[in-house]
Every structure is written in C-alpha cells, then in structure tokens.
C-alpha cells in the first residue's frame, strides 16, 4: 500500500469482501489518511492491550494513574456540593480527567492497594460528577454521583445520593430520581440523623411533585419543615419552606402557598440569602398568577429573572421565563410571550433541562394555537409530548394531550380529538388533577357539540362545572357556562340557553378580560348564523368593545 499525504484519499481498506445490505460488494471505499490512521492506531492499541495478562494490565493502569495524577498537581480534595448553583462550583484541573482517573483506579485495584484505590475512585467519581454538573450535563452527573455513592459510607454516601437526585431531577429522569430518593430516605431513617432525614424527606417530596403526586408529596414536605424548625437552622428552614410552597401551589392551596412563600422571602432577606432569592420570587409570582393577580405576577416575574441572572442560575432562570411566558399568553401579549418562551427554550437546551424543555414547548404550542397556526401547534405539541413521555412527566403529558385534542378538533378531525382528550382525562384522574380534569371535560364536550351529541355533551359540561367550582377555577367555569348555553341553544332550549350564557359571560367579564368575552360573543354569533337562529340578548353590562371581537 503506497503512502499518501494527510488529507489525500487513502486506497480501499479491503477486509475480504465487504457488502452493502449483505448482497452487493462495496468497491472503491475511500477514507482519508487521518481517519485511516486513527482507525489503525485504535485497533493496534486495543490489540496490544488485550495481549497483556490481567495482572500486567492492572499494573499498567496503576502506573498510568500515578503518572496522570502527578501531572495534574496531585490528588484534589473532596468536592463541596453545598453550593447551590453548579456554575459557581470551583473546578480543578484534574476534574476534566476525573472520570478517566476513576477508571484507572478501578482497573489497578486488582493488584494494588485496593483500599487506597477504592477511596481514590470514589473521590474521582465525585469530582467527575461535579465536572459534568458544571458543564450542564445533569443526566451524566447524576449517574456518576450514584457510582460514587456506592463506594462511600456515612455522610458522604448521603451527600452523593442527594447530589444524584438533584441532577436526575434537573435532567427530568423522574423514575430514576424516585428510586434513588427512596434509597436515601431509607438510609436516613435508619441513621436517625434529624438534619439528613429532613433533607431526604424534602427531596422525596420534590420528586413526587415533579411526578404530579402532590397529595403524597405534601405530608413529606410538612414533616421536613417540622424537623428543620425543631433544629432551628435558618438555611434548612428556608429550604423546606421553599419546597412546601411549591407543593401547596401544585395542590391549589393558594392562600397558604402565598403565606409560606412570603415567609420564605422574608427569611432570605433577613439572613442575606441572595443566591436563592430569585427562586422564591418566582414561586411568589406563580402564586399571584394562579390567583388571577396578573399585574402583580408579571412584575414579580421580572424581579425574579433579574435576581436569577445576577446569581448566574441559568436553570431556574429558564424555568421562571417559561412560567412568565405562560402568563404573557394569558394576558394576550403574544409577541412578548413568543420572545420570552424562545429565550427560555434556549436556556433549557443549554443546561440540559429536558423536563422544562417539554413544558416550554407546550406553552409555545399554545401561542401558535391562539394564532390559528394549528398544524405548527400540532407539531410543537407532539414534540412536547414525546419529551414528557421520555422523562416521565405524567402531569404535563396529560396537559399536552388535551392541547393536541383541541388542535385535532380545529383541523376537522374530531375522532383524533376525542382519543387524545380521553387519554388526557385518564391521566388527570390518575393524578387527582381536578382542575385539569374539569378543563378536559369541557374540551371533550366541545367535541360532542361538534359531532351533534348534545345530551352527552351537556352531561360532560355539568361534570366540568362541578370540578371548576370545587377548585375555584372561575375562568373555566365562565367558559363552560357559555358552552352550556350554546349546547342548550342547539337543543332548541332558548330560555335556559340565554340565562346560562349570560351567567357565563358575566363571570368571564370579571375573570377573563375583554378579549375572552369577545371570543365568546363571536362563537355565539357564529352558531346563531350557521343554525339560522336569532342571536341571544347580550347583557347590558357588556361594554361596546366587548360586544364584538
């Protein structure tokens, strides 16, 4: 075989006869010189390695470990995982090579001082986890932390399991995070260490919240706070308050969630916890948003984003921007909502937060749906759904299935719409998400209205209204009353239709705003025009701008 210059075509590497799909021989397969060199070098290196006896291999690994560690400045200290923001954790030169050093230590332990190398391997696995976390690769960081935990005892083992859960949560690997959390909780319950037990309860509650099991998370979060308050440590109390406020918010206990969040913010300011303040402000903005206090919510979101950027907490900034985008959508600020959600999506992908990426895509799909770009919305929702299923986010899976159903309905495919909405309903009931159950029942009734199943649709709307009133969802109660009015009108029941529709539109006037009212008026006009019916009388309370879209 003749030599050739780097970058020139290399003659065909023919190992006997090579075939395409097992039938046709491949001729004149050409690769450049650099690729051929790398291939042959790796092949020769592997062959040379395999020729060594196992004991000789172990000695070679021990020699490589010793030389490598010396060149990198000696053995580093055990990492500090207590700093909240991964980007602020101090990295050392050895960290970039920590995973390789851990592998050398594992291989060398077969013939060398196994206890010493065992300790070195756990150290380098921990530092490799730290390095991957700083690079915003949470899935790999979590798995390295689990490997390190298996080699540690006592507090270090708890520390590494805690780090693993946090990383797996960031990566959206909820099933894996749940398994590690349960191991940590069992470990700390056995050890009877109050501080570590509270931390384990707190983590387990976080995982259950992320999985949509808020009814199971709440008692764990409350118990974690009780333990930390009895110990009197401000840092831990703030941590438990922050976690409890999120669980209360998911459980729709809004007044209590707001009070807990305000207490958390006050403690942070008192004790100078500026790094965590942005997260708490974001939680308060969530409370305001769910309570319908949109102006207060938007101002607080902006304050939270500024604090998070100052702290360098990109992951939480992305989460807060996603929630802020949903608020702007609800306020009909579509241009700003698109801008904010695009920025959030970029951050989620930068830090590897797959779970929040899926949620953000769902919110972006809502913007596209509102702009009547139904096919693009369908594509975005489908991508969001695949991520939710990948990371095990059942709560968001149910929400996006509902959005998919509405998109299919707008595209004239009621059978597909009904299938998606029924799947969504099963998930909401499984997770006891009563608010979303009510919304989905109303959406399913819309499918029945379209397919002329009026009696069944009216029954679904009654169920939806019961759920709306139970969770005090006034916006959707107003919407569902308006849909019930249209259902009565389709059935020729004009008087009940007029009264029900009037109640709904007045409720929307106080909880939905002019744009929502105008949409309902437009739907009423369209139905009456298509069916050749006289328009229902509009309430005198409506302003002129609310009487037409």
Handedness of CA 358, 360, 363, 369 (dihedral sign): negative
**Angle value at C-alpha 334, between 333 and 340, nearest 5 degrees:** 90
Region 219-229 average pLDDT: 87
User: 367, 361, 355: which is closest to 381 by C-alpha?
Assistant: 361
User: Can you read off the two tokens belonging to residue 188?
Assistant: 């700390």
Q: What six digits make up the tokens of 55?
A: 């004991």
Average pLDDT of span 185-202: 77
Structure tokens that stand for 267 in this block: 């403690």
**What was the pLDDT predicted at 20?**
45
Verdict on whether the full-model pTM lies above 0.75: no
Contact 435, 398 (CB under 8 A): no
- Do residues 298 and 331 lie in contact, with contact meaning Cβ atoms separated by under 8 Å? yes
Q: Are strands 9-10 and 19-20 parallel, antiparallel or unpaired?
A: unpaired
At residue 198 the predicted structure's pLDDT band, cuts being 50, 70 and 90, is confident
7-42 pLDDT per residue, tens:
333 333 333 344 444 444 444 445 566 666 555 666
Task: Quote the pLDDT of residue 7.
Answer: 36
pLDDT reading at 544 higher than 60: no
- 3-state helix, strand, coil split of the chain in percent (to 5) is 75, 0, 20
H/E stretch holding 111 reads none
**359-374: pLDDT as tens digits:** 999 999 999 999 999 9
* Of 460, 539, 532, 535, residue with least CA distance to 499: 539
């Amino acid at each position: 075989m003749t030599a050739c210059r780097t970058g020139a075509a290399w003659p065909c590497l023919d190992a006997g006869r090579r075939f395409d799909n097992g039938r046709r021989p491949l001729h004149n397969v050409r690769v450049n010189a650099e690729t051929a060199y790398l291939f042959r070098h790796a092949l020769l290196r592997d062959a040379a390695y395999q020729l060594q006896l196992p004991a000789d291999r172990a000695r070679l690994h021990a020699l490589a470990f010793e030389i490598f560690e010396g060149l990198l400045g000696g053995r580093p200290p055990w990492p500090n995982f207590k700093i909240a923001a991964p980007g602020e954790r101090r990295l050392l030169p050895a960290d970039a090579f920590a995973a390789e050093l851990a592998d050398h230590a594992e291989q060398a332990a077969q013939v060398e001082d196994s206890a010493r190398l065992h300790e070195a391997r756990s150290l380098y696995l921990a530092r490799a986890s730290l390095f991957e976390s700083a690079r915003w690769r949470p899935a790999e960081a979590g798995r390295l932390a689990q490997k390190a935990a298996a080699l540690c005892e006592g507090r270090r083992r708890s520390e590494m399991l805690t780090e693993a859960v946090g990383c797996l949560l960031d990566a959206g690997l909820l099933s894996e995070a749940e398994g590690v959390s349960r191991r940590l909780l069992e470990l700390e319950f056995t050890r009877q260490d109050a501080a570590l037990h509270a931390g384990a309860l707190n983590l387990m509650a976080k995982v259950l919240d992320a999985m949509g099991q808020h009814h199971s998370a709440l008692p764990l979060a409350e118990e974690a706070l009780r333990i930390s308050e009895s110990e009197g440590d401000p840092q831990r109390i703030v941590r438990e308050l922050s976690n409890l406020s999120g669980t209360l918010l998911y459980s729709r206990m809004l007044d209590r969630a707001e009070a807990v969040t305000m207490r958390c913010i006050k403690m942070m300011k008192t004790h100078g916890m500026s790094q965590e303040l942005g997260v708490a402000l974001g939680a308060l903005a969530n409370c305001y948003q769910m309570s319908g206090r949109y102006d207060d919510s938007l101002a607080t979101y902006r304050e939270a984003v500024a604090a998070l950027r100052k702290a360098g907490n990109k992951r939480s900034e992305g989460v807060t921007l996603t929630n802020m985008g949903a608020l702007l959508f609800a306020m009909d600020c579509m241009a700003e909502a698109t801008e904010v959600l695009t920025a959030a999506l970029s951050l989620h992908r930068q830090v590897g937060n797959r779970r929040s990426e899926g949620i953000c895509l769902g919110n972006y799909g809502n913007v596209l749906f509102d702009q009547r770009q139904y096919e693009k919305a369908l594509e975005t929702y489908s991508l969001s759904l695949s991520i939710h299923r990948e990371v095990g986010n059942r709560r968001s899976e149910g929400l996006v299935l509902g959005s998919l159903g509405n998109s299919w309905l707008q595209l004239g495919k009621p059978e597909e719409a009904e299938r998606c909405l029924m799947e969504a309903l099963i998930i909401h009931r499984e997770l006891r998400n009563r608010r979303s159950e009510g919304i989905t029942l109303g959406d399913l009734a819309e499918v029945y209205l379209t397919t002329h199943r009026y009696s069944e649709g009216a029954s679904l709307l009654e169920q939806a209204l019961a759920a709306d009133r139970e969770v005090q969802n006034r916006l959707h109660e107003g919407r569902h009353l308006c849909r019930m009015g249209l259902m009565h009108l389709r059935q020729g029941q004009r008087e009940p239709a007029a009264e029900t529709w009037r109640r709904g539109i007045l409720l929307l006037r106080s909880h939905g705003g002019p744009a929502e009212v105008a949409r309902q008026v437009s739907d009423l006009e369209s139905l009456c025009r298509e069916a050749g019916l006289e328009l229902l009388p509009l309430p005198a309370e409506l302003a002129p701008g609310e009487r037409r879209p």
